[in-house]
Amino acid sequence: MTKYILSFLLIIGLSGVHAQSKKDKLAALRTSKKIISVSSIPGKDDFAVQIIALRLPAGEPGFFKNIEQAREFKCADGFVRYTVGSYPNYEEAKKEVVYYKDLGYVQAFVVNTALYKLRSSAKTRGFVPDPNKRYTIQLSAFRFPVYLSHFKGIEHVKEFYLKDRIYRYTVGDYSYEDAEKELKAIKAKGYPKAFVTELDAYLPFQIE
């Protein structure tokens, strides 16, 4: 009987160790605030309210008081600009400026993000897919890690933290042709800015 009890306790102990090893490594860093890292400029007018421009990216989510979602633009002039909202015209955006000033962002003003110049933009011209490489679909990129429950309708989301200190979230492991087919379904689920990217370049930076 003692032998069986010891075996049972050993199994429970190993199960506990396994569960502990599966703990979320980023639990203390995750936030409901979504600070979206923008990698390409919109192709048409996109009016927003710029709430602040910094020399260095914000260091923690708490910096954005009373703001749950903002876009981050690393601009060519060395500033990192943060905007909120997306409006069809200047007049609609201007209506919101007073609201954000009242929240404490006294330098808030209307911008057309289509006129921003980024430090480096995505280069897709001349792209030729490699049949020997694997591809994935990037859903979003954030300054701070978000809860994976954010990705509604998507299972098995992969998380990466690249050298630029941006957290990227992808799904799938495909050939390029299959990734392009799946991309349509992903966009239809509410991820209009999702795109196909090389999985191999991300894998060394995967968080597991």
Per-residue pLDDT tens digits of the chain, which is 208 residues long: 555 544 544 444 444 444 444 688 888 889 999 999 998 888 899 999 999 999 999 989 999 999 999 999 999 999 999 999 999 999 999 999 999 999 999 999 999 999 999 987 544 555 788 989 999 999 999 999 999 999 999 999 999 999 999 999 999 999 999 999 999 999 999 999 899 999 999 999 999 8
| Cα Rg of the chain, angstroms | 21
- Let me know: does 142 contact 57? Beta carbons within 8 Å: no
Question: Rounded to whole angstroms, what are the CA distances from 102 to 26, 47, 97?
Answer: 33, 20, 9
- Between CA 192 and CA 42 the distance in angstroms is 13
